[in-house]
Structures are given as C-alpha cells and as structure tokens.
Amino acid sequence: MPNKETKKHDELENVEKALSTSEAFIEKYQKQILIGVGAMVLIVLAALSINNFYIEPREVAAENEMYKAQNYFSADSFKIALEGDGNEFIGFKEIVSEYGITGSGNLAAAYAGICYYKLGQYENAIKYLSQFDGEDTYFTASVIGLTGDSYVELGETSKAINYFEKAADLKNEVMSPVYLKKAGLVCESLKQPEKAEKYYTTIKEKYVKSPEAADIDKYIARVQK
C-alpha cells in the first residue's frame, strides 16, 4: 500500500503532466486562441457601442414621443394617439416602426393595439397587441385579455377562449378572475356549460376575495341546470 509521500509524489506528477499538456496545447494553437479572444473582445465592444451610441439615444427619443402620444390616449383621442398629428409627434404606430427595439417601442405596440381596439379595428388590434412582450403581470394580462376580446369581436371564439386562459394563467389576483369569467361566458354562448362551470368554479375556489367571486354562485347554478 503506497505511503503518503508516494501518493503526494504521484499527485504532483499528474499535475505536472496536466500543466505540460496544457502548455503544449496553448503553444500549438496560440494563434487560433488569440484570434478567438480578439473576436470575443470585438463582440463585447460592438455590443457596448450599439447600446451606448444607438439604443440609448433612441430610447430617449422614443420616450419623448411616447409622452406626447400618451397625453392624447388619456384624453380618449385614440386616432391621434395612434397616428400622430402630422406635426408635433408621430404616434404609437410609428413609434413601433421606428423604435421597436427599445422598451418604449415595445410598450407602444400595446398602446397601438388598444387604440385599434377602441377604434373597432380588431385585426389590427391583434397584430399590435401580439407584438408586446412584458413582465408586469397586471398589464401583460390586460394585453393578452384584450387580444381575446378582439377575437370575440371577430367571432373567433375558440381563439378568444385560448387568450382568456393565457391571461388567467398569469395568476394575477385582480385580472385572472376577470378573464376566467369571460372565458366562462364565451363557453355559455357556445352551449358548453361544463366548460363554463370549470372556469366559474376556479373563480370560486381560488379567487374568493375578487369582485367576480361575489355572485359567481348564480353563474354556476345557471350552467348546472
């Protein structure tokens, strides 16, 4: 059985062999390694340059345009908020086109979709609402749910239910019961009482404190007849 010194000596030899192998590898492929490192440095520098000299300035410009459009949106002037006034600002639609890569451009897509919905142009509403990608569950649920509302208006109820489910699946205490109830109502209109009951029961069991739960028993009773 090897003693401790022999074992230690063997370990040192293994380390030396590994180092020698590494040195030989580096020496053999030194040029390729340097090229690879250089390429990585260039990629990092390019990314920083794009962010500092392209994305950030465009984000500022987009925010300025968003502020103007949001003022008209708040005043229910949806057409102007969407298309701009042809002079002072460009509107949500153009913000999406010009600044889509920015956070404001992403938000503008949601606003543009809402404007189109308010104007009764439901296909365009779906087009822009679907471009929005958000993290806030409240607003994101609202956008997904409004996509469902747009499909209802177009008579595409199966797609509407899918979007109501997606909105509810975000598990927002305020918005989820709203869209579960909408899904149930659509199912009732399609003569699918069992599916409707499933949505209503989920409200009753999981969102007890929501306004939708207050009278949900009458909806459950209605579909059980």
202 and 127 in a common domain? no
Q: Which CATH number do you get for residue 198?
A: 1.25.40.10
Report the first-to-last Cα separation within the chain, whole angstroms: 84
What does the pLDDT read at residue 117? 96
HEC assignment per residue over 103-145: HHHHHHHHHHHHHHHHCCCHHHHHHHHCCCCCCCHHHHHHHHH
Mean pLDDT of the chain: 81
Instruction: Round to whole Å and give the CA distance between 64 and 83.
Output: 15
192 pLDDT tier (thresholds 50, 70, 90): very high
- The answer to whether residue 86 scores a pLDDT higher than 70 is yes
128 and 27 in a common domain? yes
Nearest to 130 by CA among 156, 112, 154: 112
164 and 66 in a common domain? no
Between 196 and 10, whose confidence is greater? 196
Taking the CA atoms of residue 176, residue 178, residue 183 and residue 186 in that order, the dihedral angle to the nearest 10 degrees is -170
Assess if residue 44 is contained within a domain: yes
Burial class (CB in 10 A: 0-12, 13-18, 19+), 217: exposed
Summarised one tens digit per residue, pLDDT across range 30-82 is: 555 455 555 565 554 444 444 443 445 556 666 777 888 888 999 999 999 99
Beta carbons of 175 and 145 less than 8 angstroms apart: yes
- The answer to whether residue 18 scores a pLDDT higher than 80 is no
61 and 150 in a common domain? no
Assess if residue 60 is contained within a domain: yes
What is the mean pLDDT of the segment spanning 182-206? 95
- What is the per-residue burial (b if ≥16 Cβ within 10 Å, else e) of 1-11? eeeeeeeeeee
What does the pLDDT read at residue 52? 47
Beta carbons of 169 and 200 less than 8 angstroms apart: no
Assess if residue 155 is contained within a domain: yes
What does the pLDDT read at residue 49? 45
What does the pLDDT read at residue 47? 44
156 and 88 in a common domain? no
What is the mean pLDDT of the segment spanning 186-191? 94
Beta carbons of 141 and 167 less than 8 angstroms apart: yes
- The answer to whether residue 194 scores a pLDDT higher than 50 is yes
Beta carbons of 164 and 145 less than 8 angstroms apart: yes
Between 168 and 36, whose confidence is greater? 168
99 pLDDT tier (thresholds 50, 70, 90): confident
Instruction: Round to whole Å and give the CA distance between 5 and 119.
Output: 85
Assess if residue 9 is contained within a domain: no
What does the pLDDT read at residue 34? 52
For residue 76, give the 3-state DSSP assignment: coil
Assess if residue 148 is contained within a domain: yes
Domain count, the chain: 2
75 and 148 in a common domain? no
Summarised one tens digit per residue, pLDDT across range 20-32 is: 555 554 555 555 5
Between 55 and 108, whose confidence is greater? 108
Between 136 and 189, whose confidence is greater? 189
203 and 161 in a common domain? yes
- The answer to whether residue 183 scores a pLDDT higher than 50 is yes
145 and 70 in a common domain? no
218 and 118 in a common domain? no
Both tokens of 175, joined, read: 């918005």
Q: Which CATH number do you get for residue 50?
A: 1.25.40
The boundaries of the domain holding residue 35 are 21-133
What global pTM score does this model have?
A: 0.73
Distance of alpha carbon 80 from its chain centroid, rounded? 26
Assess if residue 197 is contained within a domain: yes
Assess if residue 84 is contained within a domain: yes
Beta carbons of 157 and 190 less than 8 angstroms apart: yes
Assess if residue 89 is contained within a domain: yes
